[in-house]
Amino acid sequence: MIQRIHHIAIVVSDLDAAIDSYQNQLGFEVGKRLLIPEQEVEIAFLPAGESMIELIQPTTETSGVAKYLAKRGEGLHHICLTVADIEASLEALAAKDVQLITPSPIQAAEGRGLFIHPQATHGVLIELLEPDDPS
Ligand code: CO
């Protein structure tokens, strides 16, 4: 059911500063940059072969990402894996009583996704994504 790592997401306090570091010190190219008001975040995707790094900066103090940043500081936020059929994945996980954060798939920047609770994954938030563009 899992196909590949789509992106690894890193929460940052200052997106401009993080992009500057990744671009000018670490040699990454900067891809898409998006403000997502409904999720109270701004993100930037940095291509890395067949995967990407996703930098996430909260844009409010109240979002889940903002609370995560306040509590744990900058660092790894989640790993995103692609699946062919998000509904089938949801059904398979529900059948095994896997604890989810999103009870049904949500529209994410790159497709439809769901989040698996870190308690079910030994400590890492995992996003499953059915990409809009499966390339
Ligand atoms: Co993500």
Q: What pLDDT sits at residue 84?
A: 96
Sketch out the chain's domains with CATH numbers.
2-131 (3.10.180.10)
Q: What pLDDT sits at residue 90?
A: 96
Distance between Cα 54 and ligand 1 center (Å): 7
Query: Per-residue pLDDT averaged across 42-58, rounded?
Result: 97
* DSSP for the chain, written as a single string: -EEEEEEEEEE-S-HHHHHHIIIIIT-PPP--EEEEGGGTEEEEEEEETTEEEEEEEESSSSSHHHHHHHHH-SEEEEEEEEES-HHHHHHHHHHTT--BSSSS-EEETTEEEEEE-GGGTTS-EEEEEEESS--
Q: What pLDDT sits at residue 21?
A: 98
Distance between Cα 103 and ligand 1 center (Å): 17
- 65 confidence band (pLDDT: 50, 70, 90): very high
Distance between Cα 109 and ligand 1 center (Å): 8
Q: What pLDDT sits at residue 109?
A: 78
Environment of ion ligand 1 (residues, CB < 5 A): 9, 80, 127
Distance CA 79, CA 123 (A): 11
Distance between Cα 69 and ligand 1 center (Å): 15
Name, in order, each residue with C-beta under 8 angstroms of 18's C-beta and a sequence gap of 6 or more. 10, 12, 44, 55, 57
Residue 67 has a CB neighbour count (10 Å cut-off) of 12
Q: What is the pLDDT of residues 14-47, one digit of tens each?
A: 999 999 999 999 999 999 999 999 889 999 999 9
- 135 confidence band (pLDDT: 50, 70, 90): low
Query: C-alpha distances in angstroms, 96 versus 47, 92, 111, 112?
Result: 34, 7, 24, 21
**pLDDT above 80 (res 134):** no
Distance between Cα 96 and ligand 1 center (Å): 23
Q: What is the pTM of this model?
A: 0.92
Q: What is the pLDDT of residues 81-127, one digit of tens each?
A: 999 999 999 999 999 999 999 889 988 878 999 999 999 999 999 99
